[in-house]
C-alpha cells in the first residue's frame, strides 16, 4: 500500500481544475482517494478499481447536485493505492468511520451488541450477558439486538435450565443456597445440591436450545414430566412443566422464527425526503434475536444502492458478519462486498436480494418496520423543530438553536463531586456529546456549587477554544442552560468573559416559588427573571432538558462514589490490575492482609510473579 499527496501552494486551483491536475500523477492501480477543502478538511472518501479512471470521471461536469458541490469545494486530493479492490473497499469504510466526511453516507449509531455467554472456565459454568471482545473461554450466542432482549431471554433460560449467574467469587463463598435457588431459578451447585454431571447436562440443554434445537429439548422435558407424573412425583412434574413453559415464552417473545433461515441478518432500507432508516433483524439458530433501527446520514440525491453498500461496509467493520445477508436493495459491488466480508469472517458470507418465498417475507417485515420507524422519527423531528423555535422565541435568540448544552453538578456535602453536561439538538439527545467532569479544584470549599460550575465551564471552554477555535466544526453551543438562579448565571458569565466568549446566550433555570416543578424562573444577565405559562410546551421541554442533566450528573456521581467505596491501597501498586487485585484479595482476604504479608506468601499467589511480589512488598514496607 502506498500513499500519495500532490503538493499544493497558494496558486493551486480548486474544483475541476484541481482534480484535472492530479490525473497525470495517477496510474490504473486500485485504491482509495480523499477529497479535501481549502482548510484540508476531508470532504469525501471513495474507493476505485482504477484510480485514474475514477478521478477522471470527477474532472468532467454532469454530476448530481451533491457531487457538484463537493467538486466545487475540492482544493486538494490524497491517494492510497492498494493491492486489491477488496482491500480498497475495507480501507474506504474504515476511513469513512474515522474521518466522518461531509459528503459520504455515514452510519452514526454503531454500538456493539450483547451476547449470551455460557462460560467454560469453571466446573459449574455460569450463564451471563456479555458485550465486547470474546476473550473469555466459553460458548457465545448472539448478537441480540438489545440488552433488554438478552435479559428477557436469560430470565427465561434461568427458569428452564436452572443455571447459575453469580460470579465465581460469590459461588466459592456460599455456605447455603441463595434466593435464586428458593425461587427455582438455580439448581444450587454452589452447595452441592446438583452433581457436576447433572449440571453439565443442563448446560448442554441450554446450548442446544440457543443453537436452535429447541424442539428436541422440549420433547425430552415433556417425556420427563410425564414419567414424573406417572410415578406420582407431582412436585417434580410441576417443576418440569414450568421449565417447558419458560422455553415456550422465549419462543413466543421472539415473534418471527423462520424455518428456512438458520443464520442471517435481514436488512431493510426505506428512504424518504432525504432521510433513511435501515432496519436489521438478527436471525440466529432459526430464531429472531431482535431488531435494531439505524439512521445513516444521507443526502437527497443518494441512491438506495449507495446507502446500502455504505451501511454494510461500516456496520460490519467491527462486527462478525453472519453466513447470509438478506437485503431489500441490491448493491453495485455485491461480489466485492461478499469477498471482503468472507475474508473478514474466515468463511463464506452470502449476499441475497430475494424476490419470493420466506426470505422475501422477512425482508418485507424489515421494510415495514423501517418505514414505520422513519415516519415516527420524522414526526418527532418536526415536533422537536417546533419546540426549538419556541425556545428561540422565549429567550430572544436569533434562530432555533442547533446545539443546547445543559450543565448540572452532583455531590454529597462536597464529596465525590462531579459536573455533567448533556447536549440536545434538532434530532433530540446527542448522547455521544455528553461529558462528565470530575471536580478537581483543591481550593474549593466543600459544597461550593458556584465554584464547581465555574471549574466545569472553565475546562469546557478552554478545551473548546483549543479544539475548534474557528467555530466551524459544530462543537459550539447556541444556548447554555444552567441549573440555578442569578448566582449561578453570574458565576458562569464571569468565566465566559475571561475566555472572551460573550456571544453565547445563557439562561439559568431556577425552581422558583416553593421550589415547585412547573413554576421555574429563568435568569439572564442584565434582565429581570421571568416565567413561562404553566402549560407551555416549551416549559415542559426545558424541564426535560434540566431533568436529563440532573439524571446524568447523579448517575456519574453515584458511579464515582461506588468506585471510591470499592477502592483499596492495591489500586496504587504499579503492575496490579483488576485480575491480580482479585487474586490477591481472594488469597489473603483483605488489602490490609496483603500489606502485612511477607515476600514468600506474596510469591505463592497465582498470577503474581517473583518480580511483582517484590514490587508489592516494597510498596507497602517502604511506606
Compute the distance between CA of residue 55 and CA of residue 76 in angstroms, rounded to an integer. 12
For residue 76, is it within any domain? yes
Q: Is 293 a residue whose pLDDT tops 60?
A: yes
Q: Please compute, for residue 459, the number of CA atoms within 13 A of its CA located in the half-sphere on the CB side.
A: 17
pTM of this prediction exceeds 0.75: no
553 and 585 in one domain? no
In this predicted structure, what is the pLDDT of residue 304? Answer: 94
Of 199, 221, 254, which closes a domain? 254
539 and 594 in one domain? no
Q: Is 395 a residue whose pLDDT tops 60?
A: yes
Higher-pLDDT residue of 574 and 385 is 385
514 and 423 in one domain? yes
**pLDDT (average), residues 583-589:** 82
SS3 185: coil
Alpha helices in 255-333 (DSSP H): 304-315
For residue 105, is it within any domain? no
285 and 324 in one domain? yes
In this predicted structure, what is the pLDDT of residue 415? Answer: 66
Q: Is 148 a residue whose pLDDT tops 90?
A: no
- Hey, which of 214-223, 515-524, 607-616 has the most confident mean pLDDT? 607-616
For residue 393, is it within any domain? no
In this predicted structure, what is the pLDDT of residue 491? Answer: 86
303 and 227 in one domain? no
* pLDDT tens sequence across 36-54: 998 888 999 999 999 999 9
In the chain, the number of structural domains is 5
For helices 304-315 and 85-99, the axis angle rounded to 10 degrees is: 80
For helices 196-210 and 214-230, the axis angle rounded to 10 degrees is: 130
b (16+ CB within 10 A) / e for 196-228: eeebeebbebbbbbbeeebeebbeebeebbeeb
Closest CA to 384 of 278, 274, 537, 534: 537
β pairing state of 127-130 and 479-483: unpaired
165 and 269 in one domain? no
Grid coordinates standing for 495?
468565566
What stretches of 82-131 adopt beta strand conformation (E)?
A: 115-119, 127-130
Compute the distance between CA of residue 541 and CA of residue 555 in angstroms, rounded to an integer. 21
Compute the distance between CA of residue 505 and CA of residue 476 in angstroms, rounded to an integer. 12
Rg (CA), the chain: 30
For residue 392, is it within any domain? no
**Angle (nearest 5°) at CA 405 between 498 and 480:** 50
Which residues, including other chains, have CB under 8 Å from residue 76's CB and lie 6 or more apart?
Answer: 5, 6, 8, 12, 18, 36, 40
* pLDDT tens sequence across 417-452: 888 999 999 988 998 899 999 887 666 666 677 788
Of 99, 129, 156, which closes a domain? 99
Residue 226 structural domain: 115-254
410 and 358 in one domain? no
**pLDDT (average), residues 352-364:** 93
* pLDDT tens sequence across 56-115: 999 988 888 889 999 999 999 999 999 999 999 989 988 998 888 989 999 876 677 899
* pLDDT tens sequence across 156-208: 788 878 889 888 888 888 888 888 888 888 989 999 999 998 898 888 888 88
Q: Which residues face 409 on adjacent strands? A: 419
SS3 47: strand
Alpha helices in 211-352 (DSSP H): 214-230, 234-254, 304-315, 334-345
69 and 39 in one domain? yes
Closest CA to 280 of 152, 144, 132, 130: 144
For residue 465, is it within any domain? yes
What CATH number does residue 610 fall under? Answer: 1.10.150.20
Q: Which residues face 280 on adjacent strands? A: 267, 292
Grid coordinates standing for 384?
422537536
Read off the pLDDT band of 504 (50, 70, 90).
Answer: very high
Higher-pLDDT residue of 5 and 48 is 48
Grid coordinates standing for 131?
458485550
Task: Give the mean pLDDT of the chain.
Answer: 85
For residue 598, is it within any domain? yes
SS3 158: helix
235 and 200 in one domain? yes
284 and 175 in one domain? no
From residue 605, alpha-carbon distances to 169, 192, 569, 585 in Å are 16, 27, 18, 10
In this predicted structure, what is the pLDDT of residue 8? Answer: 46
590 and 468 in one domain? no
Which residue pairs from 457-460 have beta carbons closer than 8 angstroms and sit at least 24 positions apart in sequence?
A: 457/407, 457/492, 457/495, 457/496, 458/495, 458/498, 458/499, 460/421, 460/435
**Angle (nearest 5°) at CA 74 between 70 and 76:** 150
For residue 383, is it within any domain? no
Which one-letter DSSP state was computed for residue 123? S
Q: Is 526 a residue whose pLDDT tops 80?
A: yes
15 and 124 in one domain? no
Of 254, 274, 289, which closes a domain? 254
In this predicted structure, what is the pLDDT of residue 225? Answer: 78
Compute the distance between CA of residue 510 and CA of residue 512 in angstroms, rounded to an integer. 6
Q: Which residues face 142 on adjacent strands? A: none
What CATH number does residue 27 fall under? Answer: 3.40.1440.10
What CATH number does residue 443 fall under? Answer: 3.30.420.340
Q: Please name the residue that has the C-alpha cell 454530476.
A: 63
Element (H, E) at 331: none
In this predicted structure, what is the pLDDT of residue 252? Answer: 52
What CATH number does residue 340 fall under? Answer: 3.30.420.10
Length of the chain: 623
For residue 583, is it within any domain? yes
* pLDDT tens sequence across 297-353: 887 789 999 999 999 999 998 888 999 999 999 999 899 999 999 998 899 999 999
In this predicted structure, what is the pLDDT of residue 519? Answer: 75
What stretches of 313-390 adopt beta strand conformation (E)?
A: 324-327, 350-352
Grid coordinates standing for 572?
496504587
Read off the pLDDT band of 596 (50, 70, 90).
Answer: confident
From residue 441, alpha-carbon distances to 144, 453, 594 in Å are 43, 11, 33
Give percent of the chain above pLDDT 70: 89
Amino acid at each position: 500500500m502506498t500513499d500519495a499527496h500532490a503538493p499544493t501552494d497558494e496558486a493551486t486551483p480548486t474544483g475541476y481544475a484541481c482534480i484535472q491536475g492530479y490525473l497525470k500523477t495517477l496510474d490504473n492501480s486500485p485504491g482509495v482517494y480523499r477529497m479535501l477543502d481549502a482548510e484540508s478538511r476531508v470532504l469525501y472518501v471513495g474507493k476505485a478499481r482504477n484510480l485514474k479512471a475514477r478521478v477522471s470521471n470527477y474532472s468532467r461536469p454532469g454530476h448530481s447536485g451533491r457531487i457538484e458541490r463537493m467538486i466545487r469545494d475540492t482544493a486538494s486530493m490524497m491517494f492510497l493505492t492498494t493491492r486489491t479492490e477488496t482491500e480498497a473497499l475495507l480501507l474506504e469504510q474504515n476511513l469513512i468511520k474515522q474521518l466522518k466526511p461531509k459528503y459520504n453516507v455515514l452510519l452514526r449509531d454503531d454500538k456493539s451488541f450483547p451476547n449470551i455467554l455460557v462460560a467454560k472456565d469453571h466446573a459449574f459454568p455460569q450463564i451471563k450477558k456479555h458485550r465486547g471482545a470474546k476473550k473469555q473461554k466459553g460458548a457465545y450466542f448472539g448478537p441480540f439486538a438489545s440488552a433488554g432482549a438478552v435479559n428477557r431471554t436469560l430470565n427465561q433460560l434461568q427458569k428452564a435450565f436452572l443455571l447459575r449467574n453469580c460470579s465465581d467469587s460469590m459461588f466459592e463463598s456460599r455456605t447455603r443456597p441463595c434466593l435464586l435457588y428458593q425461587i427455582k431459578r438455580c439448581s444450587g451447585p454452589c452447595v452441592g445440591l446438583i452433581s457436576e454431571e447433572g449440571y453439565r447436562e443442563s448446560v448442554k440443554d441450554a446450548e442446544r436450545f440457543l443453537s436452535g434445537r429447541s424442539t428436541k429439548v422440549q420433547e425430552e422435558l415433556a417425556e420427563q414430566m410425564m414419567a414424573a407424573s406417572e410415578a406420582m412425583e407431582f412436585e417434580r412434574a410441576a417443576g418440569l412443566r414450568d421449565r417447558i413453559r419458560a422455553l415456550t415464552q422465549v419462543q413466543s417473545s421472539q415473534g418471527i422464527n423462520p424455518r428456512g433461515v438458520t443464520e442471517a441478518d435481514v436488512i431493510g432500507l426505506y428512504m424518504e425526503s432525504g432521510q433513511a432508516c435501515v432496519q436489521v433483524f438478527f436471525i440466529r439458530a432459526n430464531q429472531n434475536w431482535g431488531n435494531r433501527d439505524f439512521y445513516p446520514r444521507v443526502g437527497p440525491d443518494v441512491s438506495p444502492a449507495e446507502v446500502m453498500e455504505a451501511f454494510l461496509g461500516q456496520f460490519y467493520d467491527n462486527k462478525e458478519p453472519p453466513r447470509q445477508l438478506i437485503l431489500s436493495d441490491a448493491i453495485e459491488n455485491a461480489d466485492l462486498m461478499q469477498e471482503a466480508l468472507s475474508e473478514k469472517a474466515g468463511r463464506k458470507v452470502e449476499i441475497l436480494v430475494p424476490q419470493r418465498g420466506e426470505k422475501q417475507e422477512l425482508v418485507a417485515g424489515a421494510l415495514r418496520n423501517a418505514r414505520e420507524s422513519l415516519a415516527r422519527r420524522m414526526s418527532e423531528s418536526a415536533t422537536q423543530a417546533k419546540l426549538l423555535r419556541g425556545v428561540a422565541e422565549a429567550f430572544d435568540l436569533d434562530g432555533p438553536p442547533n446545539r443546547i448544552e445543559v450543565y448540572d453538578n452532583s455531590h454529597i456535602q462536597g464529596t465525590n463531586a462531579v459536573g455533567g453536561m448533556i447536549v440536545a439538538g434538532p434530532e433530540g439527545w446527542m448522547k455521544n456529546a455528553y461529558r462528565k467532569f470530575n471536580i478537581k479544584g483543591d481550593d474549593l470549599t466543600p459544597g461550593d456549587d458556584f465554584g464547581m460550575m465555574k471549574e466545569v465551564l472553565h475546562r469546557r471552554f478552554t478545551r473548546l477554544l483549543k479544539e475548534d477555535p474557528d467555530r466551524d466544526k459544530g462543537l459550539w453551543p447556541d444556548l447554555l442552560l444552567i441549573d440555578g438562579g442569578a448566582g449561578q448565571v453570574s458565576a458562569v458569565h464571569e468565566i465566559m468573559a475571561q475566555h472572551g466568549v460573550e456571544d453565547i446566550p445563557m439562561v439559568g433555570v431556577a425552581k422558583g416559588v416553593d421550589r415547585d416543578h412547573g413554576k421555574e424562573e429563568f435568569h439572564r444577565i442584565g434582565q429581570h427573571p421571568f416565567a413561562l405559562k404553566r402549560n407551555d410546551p416549551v416549559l415542559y421541554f426545558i424541564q426535560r432538558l434540566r431533568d436529563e442533566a440532573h439524571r446524568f450528573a447523579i448517575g456519574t456521581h453515584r458511579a464515582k462514589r461506588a468506585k471510591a467505596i470499592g477502592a483499596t491501597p492495591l489500586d496504587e501498586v504499579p503492575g496490579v490490575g483488576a485480575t491480580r487485585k482479585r487474586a490477591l484479595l481472594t488469597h489473603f482476604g483483605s488489602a490490609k492482609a496483603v500489606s502485612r504479608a511477607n515476600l514468600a506468601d506474596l510469591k505463592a499467589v497465582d498470577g503474581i510473579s517473583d518480580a511483582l511480589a517484590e514490587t508489592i512488598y516494597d510498596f507497602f514496607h517502604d511506606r
